[in-house]
Amino acid sequence: MISDFRPAKKSAKSLRQTVTKTPTAPDEQSFRTPEEIAAEQILTPNEPTANIINMNLSPSNTKKSNNKWQKLRLSWPPGKKEWITSGILVILLASGTSYALLRQTAPEEPSQLVVARKEKLPTTVPSTLTGLPVEPSVNQQTVTGVMIENSLYARPQSGLGQAGVVFEAIAEGGITRFLALFQDTAPESVGPIRSARPYYVSWALGFDAGYAHVGGSPEALANIKAWKVRDLDQFANGGSYHRSSSREAPHNVYTSIAALNKLENSKGYNTSTYSGFERKKKETPLKTPTASTINMSISGPVYNADYTYDAATNNYKRSEGGEAHIEANTNSQISPKVVIAMVIPYSLASDGYHSSYSNIGSGVAYIFQDGGVSVGNWTKTDNTSQIKFTDAAGNVIPLNPGQTWLTAIAAANKVTYRP
């Protein structure tokens, strides 16, 4: 065994002395014991290695580093200390290799850096009709005006609560009627629809609107032709209207805004060019309302209108004939954002039956909004011009965005209000 050739408890220095060539007598150089030959073969397997060992273990190097490296000096064959040291080196090398392989093969963790996305906010503009935010394309659509009846047989009506602007006046015999204008909304049911009157036609022209009606007074029908109104008369366009089985004629003619828009497009009425009412950018409700209850005496108890200010919504709940005015499509009380009473001279037409309003010119106006009232003037210079509302100094009175309800009254004393 190799251990048999290892000198007992020999240090590296003694081994160096054994293999180092030193001058000896001729007989000593030629004679070597078997133990010396075996030790030399083990420690000096070839000449280059032996030279390196001899160089590193030379007496001068040994003297300089004897104390410094004494504890790290290994021997061969390996003993307990050498085997432990080798094992530790193998473990460390294996760990390093494994870590390098894992770094090469393991998928990289996704980056934790969160990049904030700039989401494109929807672009809206104020509606020309209502002032409410809408897509820009809405303002390019046609405004559609519909004549809606208000007799007891016509209530509750469909579409009135969803219109952007509503005009109210007496049609005949004290019975009021409405011109409802649509552009922002498109109710599936609108009606019942009745006949035209000249002042409604004039108001519709101010919005460059299509005008849906079922016939009309002789004067109104003549004006529609003379004023080149966008005529949507049911008599000539029956396919765009239908009759409801739940109502008796003539209180049963209905339509939808989609059907009327299709009719308008077929006639080339693809857009409306007009100036809407001046609108405020923000509502400004009063902390202490000065006009919470409004009463309008129009023609009689069945048709007189009342409004109650709702501070929670900044709207006005409408009643007529002493009862809440209900929108049939939503089964909710009609609640405009702005209520305006326009003092317009009223009389009977030449036939002694139909109503006549001097709606071209100017007069006093009561503008109710935000729980208060502004007393100013209304002005409409011609049939195609828009109505303007100004204060005593001639400045335009801006209106809140939302539904605007305008009622023609015969005199200033026909409208009252209280806090």
Residues 144 and 243 in one domain: yes
118 assigned to some structural domain = no
Q: Which helix (H) or strand (E) holds 389?
A: strand 388-390
377 assigned to some structural domain = yes
Check the CA dihedral 262-268-270-275 and report its sign.
negative
Residues 234 and 345 in one domain: no
Q: Range with the lowest mean pLDDT among 62-71, 185-194, 255-264?
A: 62-71
160 assigned to some structural domain = yes
Task: Say if residue 393 is exposed, middle or buried (CB neighbours under 10 Å; 0-12, 13-18, 19+).
Answer: exposed
Write down the pLDDT at residue 119: 64
**Do the bridges between strand 372-380 and strand 133-134 make them parallel or antiparallel, or are there none, so unpaired?**
unpaired
Q: Which residue has the higher pLDDT, 80 or 42?
A: 80
The mean pLDDT of 189-217, rounded to a whole number, is 98
Q: For the chain, how many residues are written?
A: 419
Task: Say if residue 280 is exposed, middle or buried (CB neighbours under 10 Å; 0-12, 13-18, 19+).
Answer: middle
Q: Which residue has the higher pLDDT, 340 or 351?
A: 340
Residues 248 and 303 in one domain: no
Check the CA dihedral 345-349-350-353 and report its sign.
negative
What are the start-end ranges of the E strands in 94-143? Answer: 125-126, 133-134
Residues 299 and 233 in one domain: no
Q: How far apart are CA 178 and CA 176, in angstroms?
A: 7
Residues 318 and 400 in one domain: yes
pLDDT above 90: percentage of residues in the chain: 69
Tens of pLDDT, residues 33-55: 555 555 455 444 444 443 433 44
pLDDT above 70: percentage of residues in the chain: 71
Write down the pLDDT at residue 61: 46
- Encode burial over 197-206: b for 16+ CB neighbours within 10 A, e otherwise: bbbbbbbbbb
Q: Which residue has the higher pLDDT, 312 or 65?
A: 312
Residues 319 and 375 in one domain: yes
Q: Which residue has the higher pLDDT, 27 or 338?
A: 338
How far is C-alpha 54 from the geometric centre of its chain's CA atoms?
86
The mean pLDDT of 360-381, rounded to a whole number, is 98
Residues 232 and 309 in one domain: no
Q: Which residue has the higher pLDDT, 15 or 176?
A: 176
Residues 322 and 237 in one domain: no
The mean pLDDT of 287-314, rounded to a whole number, is 97
Q: Which residue has the higher pLDDT, 270 or 90?
A: 270
- Encode burial over 90-111: b for 16+ CB neighbours within 10 A, e otherwise: eeeeeeeeeeeeeeeeeeeeee
Check the CA dihedral 350-355-360-366 and report its sign.
positive
Q: How far apart are CA 102 and CA 93, in angstroms?
A: 14
Tens of pLDDT, residues 206-220: 999 999 999 999 999
- Specify the number of domains making up the chain: 3
Write down the pLDDT at residue 80: 60
Residues 297 and 259 in one domain: no
Write down the pLDDT at residue 93: 57
| Structure-token pair, residue 381 | 């210079």
**Do the bridges between strand 338-343 and strand 404-409 make them parallel or antiparallel, or are there none, so unpaired?**
parallel
The single residue listed with the structure tokens 């409409």 is: 380
68 assigned to some structural domain = no
The mean pLDDT of 139-160, rounded to a whole number, is 97
The mean pLDDT of 168-173, rounded to a whole number, is 96
Q: Which residue has the higher pLDDT, 87 or 147?
A: 147
Backbone Cα Rg of the chain: 52
Residues 298 and 260 in one domain: no
Residues 16 and 136 in one domain: no
Round the average pLDDT of the chain to a whole number and report it: 83
Q: Range with the lowest mean pLDDT among 1-5, 180-184, 309-313?
A: 1-5
| Structure-token pair, residue 80 | 């307990």
Q: Range with the lowest mean pLDDT among 4-13, 77-86, 116-125, 300-309?
A: 4-13
402 assigned to some structural domain = yes
The mean pLDDT of 273-296, rounded to a whole number, is 96
Write down the pLDDT at residue 314: 98
Confidence of residue 350 (pLDDT cuts 50, 70, 90): confident
Q: Which helix (H) or strand (E) holds 163?
A: none
102 assigned to some structural domain = no
Q: Contact at 8 Å (CB) between 404 and 163?
A: no
- The answer on pLDDT for 317 being more than 70 is yes
Q: What CATH number does the domain containing 191 carry? A: 3.50.90.10
Residues 194 and 299 in one domain: no
Q: Contact at 8 Å (CB) between 400 and 339?
A: no
Confidence of residue 29 (pLDDT cuts 50, 70, 90): very low
17 assigned to some structural domain = yes
Tens of pLDDT, residues 382-413: 999 999 999 999 999 999 999 999 999 999 99
209 assigned to some structural domain = yes
> Whose CA is closest to 185, among 259, 277, 257, 264?
257
Q: Range with the lowest mean pLDDT among 79-88, 250-259, 341-350?
A: 79-88
7: containing domain: 2-63
- The answer on pLDDT for 59 being more than 70 is no
Write down the pLDDT at residue 48: 42
Q: How far apart are CA 338 and CA 161, in angstroms?
A: 13
